[in-house]
C-alpha cells in the first residue's frame, strides 16, 4: 500500500510538472466558439496556424480530425503562404493520426493526390506539388515512405516525394503557362528573352513574356555611392556582386546578400565605391 501511494504521488507530481511547464492549445475544424488562447475543446481554434501563433515555446497544439485547408501565413518573405508555419519549439500533435487529420497546403490548384478520400496522399504524376517546395526547409533525408526526400533537384510539397519527376522545374510553374512537364521544355528559351525556362523559374519571371526577365537597369551615381537597379520580382531574394574589370576570367566579389526583391524594380546603393572605378555589377538570384 505504501509503495502504491508513492507511485500515485510520483504520478501526480509529474502531472503537475507537465501542467506547469506546458499549455495545451486545441484545434477543431468544426469549432463554433473559437477564442484565443484555445485552451479547451469548447474554445478550440478552427485552423492550426491560429493555435500555433498563440502557443509559447514548450506548449502543445492538439488537432482533431479534419482536412485543414484554411489559415497560414507568409514566412521568410516567400511569396506563397504556408498553411502552417511553426517557428518555435512546440509540439504539434494529431488526436487520431494522419489517416483522419490532413493539412492541405496553400496550392491554388488541386494537389492531385492518388486518393484523397481514401487517405492515399502520394502525388499523381501531374501534381502541381512536384518540385514546388523549398529545399531550405528540408530537415530529413527521407520522406514518409523512407524514400529520398528530394528527387529532381527540388523537394515536393507534401510528405511523400514523387520519385520519378520528368522535369526539374516546379510543375506548378510550368502548368499555368501551358508548358510540358516531361522535361522537354526545361532548357528552352520559350519567349526568346535570353533566359531558358529553368532560369525563368529560378528568377520568378514569366517564361512566356519577353518583357519579364531578370536584367540590370541604368545605374546612377551620387555622393552616397553607386545605386544599382534591376528588374525584379516581389519576394525573390537577390545578392549583388562587384568586379573591377571584364578580363577573360574576371573576379566578382559579393557585396550584399539577402536583398529582398520588390515588385517591378529593386535598387541597392553601394557606398564602398570610393574612387572613379571602373566598377561592374552582377545581380544573382539567391537560392
The CB-side HSE value for 31 (13 A sphere, CA atoms) comes to 25
Q: What percent of the chain has pLDDT over 90?
A: 61
Which domain-ending residue is among 87, 106, 125? 106
Residue 188 neighbours by CB under 8 Å, 6+ apart: 196, 197
Q: Does residue 95 form part of some domain?
A: yes
The residues, any chain, with a CB within 8 Å of residue 17's CB and separated by 6 or more, are none
> How far is the C-alpha of 201 from the C-alpha of 190, rounded, in Å?
12
97-143 pLDDT per residue, tens: 888 888 876 666 778 999 988 889 999 999 999 998 888 888 899 99
- Give all strands (DSSP E) within the chain, no chain letters: 24-27, 60-63, 66-68, 73-74, 81-82, 91-94, 101-103, 113-115, 120-123, 216-222, 225-232, 237-243, 253-260, 264-270, 280-285
Number of structural domains the chain divides into: 2
Q: What is the mean pLDDT of the chain?
A: 86
- Domain holding 241, by residue range, is 216-285
Do 41 and 59 meet the contact criterion of CB atoms below 8 Å apart?
A: no
- 137 domain-assigned: no
What tens digit of pLDDT does each residue of 215-259 get?
999 999 888 899 999 999 987 899 999 998 888 788 899 999 999
Single residue among 84, 106, 128 that ends a domain in this structure: 106
Query: Percent of the chain at pLDDT above 70?
Result: 89
Q: Which of 45, 64, 63 is nearest to 53 (CA)?
A: 45
Instruction: Show which of 82, 106, 130 is a domain's final residue.
Output: 106
In a domain, 156, yes or no: no
Give yes or no for a contact between 49 and 73, defined as CB atoms under 8 angstroms apart: yes
All cell numbers assigned to 142: 527521407
Establish if 181 belongs to a structural domain. Answer: no
The answer to whether residue 87 is domain-embedded is: yes
Residue 120 lies in a domain: no
Whole-number Å distance between alpha carbons of 24 and 22: 7
What number is the average pLDDT over the span 32-47? 96
Q: Is the pLDDT of residue 183 over 50?
A: yes
Pairing mode, strands 91-94 and 60-63: parallel
pTM for the model: 0.64
- Is 127 part of any domain? no
Q: How many CB atoms lie within 10 A of CB 25?
A: 28
Q: Dihedral through CA 105, CA 106, CA 112, CA 114, nearest 10?
A: 0
Amino acid at each position: 500500500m505504501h509503495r502504491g501511494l508513492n507511485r500515485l504521488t510520483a504520478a501526480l507530481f509529474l502531472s503537475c510538472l507537465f501542467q506547469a511547464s506546458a499549455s495545451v492549445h486545441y484545434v477543431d475544424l468544426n469549432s463554433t466558439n473559437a477564442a484565443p488562447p484555445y485552451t479547451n475543446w469548447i474554445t478550440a481554434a478552427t485552423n492550426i496556424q491560429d493555435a500555433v501563433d498563440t502557443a509559447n515555446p514548450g506548449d502543445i497544439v492538439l488537432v482533431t480530425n479534419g482536412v485543414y485547408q484554411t489559415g497560414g501565413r507568409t514566412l521568410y518573405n516567400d511569396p506563397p503562404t504556408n498553411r502552417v508555419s511553426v517557428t518555435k519549439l512546440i509540439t504539434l500533435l494529431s488526436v487520431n493520426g494522419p489517416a483522419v487529420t490532413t493539412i492541405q497546403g496553400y496550392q491554388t490548384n488541386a494537389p492531385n493526390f492518388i486518393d484523397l478520400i481514401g487517405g492515399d496522399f502520394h502525388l499523381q504524376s501531374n501534381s502541381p506539388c512536384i518540385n514546388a517546395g523549398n529545399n531550405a526547409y528540408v530537415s530529413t533525408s527521407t520522406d514518409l515512405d523512407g524514400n529520398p526526400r528530394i528527387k529532381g533537384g527540388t523537394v515536393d510539397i507534401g510528405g511523400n516525394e514523387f520519385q520519378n519527376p520528368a522535369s526539374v522545374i516546379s510543375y506548378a510553374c510550368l502548368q499555368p503557362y501551358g508548358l510540358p512537364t516531361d522535361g522537354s521544355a526545361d532548357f528552352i528559351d520559350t519567349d526568346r528573352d535570353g533566359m531558358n525556362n529553368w532560369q525563368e523559374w529560378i528568377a520568378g519571371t514569366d517564361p512566356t513574356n519577353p518583357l519579364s526577365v531578370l536584367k540590370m537597369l541604368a545605374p546612377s551615381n551620387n555622393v552616397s555611392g553607386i545605386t544599382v537597379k534591376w528588374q525584379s520580382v516581389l519576394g525573390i531574394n537577390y545578392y549583388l556582386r562587384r568586379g573591377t574589370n571584364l578580363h577573360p576570367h574576371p573576379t566578382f566579389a559579393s557585396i550584399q546578400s539577402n536583398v529582398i526583391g520588390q515588385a517591378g524594380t529593386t535598387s541597392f546603393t553601394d557606398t564602398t565605391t570610393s574612387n572613379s572605378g571602373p566598377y561592374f555589377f552582377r545581380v544573382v538570384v539567391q537560392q
